[in-house]
Amino acid sequence: MTTATPKPGRYAIDAPRSEITFTTKHLFGLGTVRGSFRLRGGTVSLAEPLTGTRVDAVADATSFDTGNKNRDRQVHSKALLDTEVYPDIVFASTGAELDGSGVWALQGHLTAHGVRAPVTFTATKAEVDGEEITVEATATVDRYAHGVTKLKGMAGRRLVLVAAVRARRSDEDAAQA
Q: Is 5 helix (H, G, I), strand (E, B) or coil?
A: coil
Whole-number pLDDT of residue 176: 53
Whole-number pLDDT of residue 3: 43
Residue type, 85: V
Note whether 59 and 88 are within 8 A (CB): yes
Q: How confident is the model at residue 153 (pLDDT cuts 50, 70, 90)?
A: low
Pairwise CA distance, residues 18 & 37, whole Å: 10
Whole-number pLDDT of residue 6: 79
Q: State residue 22 phi and psi, 5-degree precision.
A: -150, 160
pLDDT (mean) for 5-17: 92
Whole-number pLDDT of residue 93: 96
Number of domains in the chain: 1
- The enclosing domain of 160 has a CATH number of 2.40.128.110
Range of the domain at 63: 2-176
Query: b/e string for 104-119 if b means 16 or more Cβ within 10 A?
Result: bebebebbbbeeebeb
Whole-number pLDDT of residue 2: 44
Whole-number pLDDT of residue 4: 57
pTM for this prediction: 0.88
Element (H, E) at 93: strand 88-98
Contacts of 7 (CB under 8 A, 6+ apart): 46, 131, 169, 173, 177
Residue 94 region by backbone torsions, left for phi larger than 0, else alpha for psi between -120 and 50, else beta: alpha
Note whether 54 and 47 are within 8 A (CB): yes
Q: What is the mean pLDDT of the chain?
A: 89
pLDDT tens figures, 15-74: 999 999 999 987 666 789 999 999 999 999 999 988 899 999 999 999 999 999 998 999
> Within 13 Å and on the Cβ side, how many CA atoms surround 24?
26
pLDDT (mean) for 150-158: 78
pLDDT (mean) for 148-167: 87
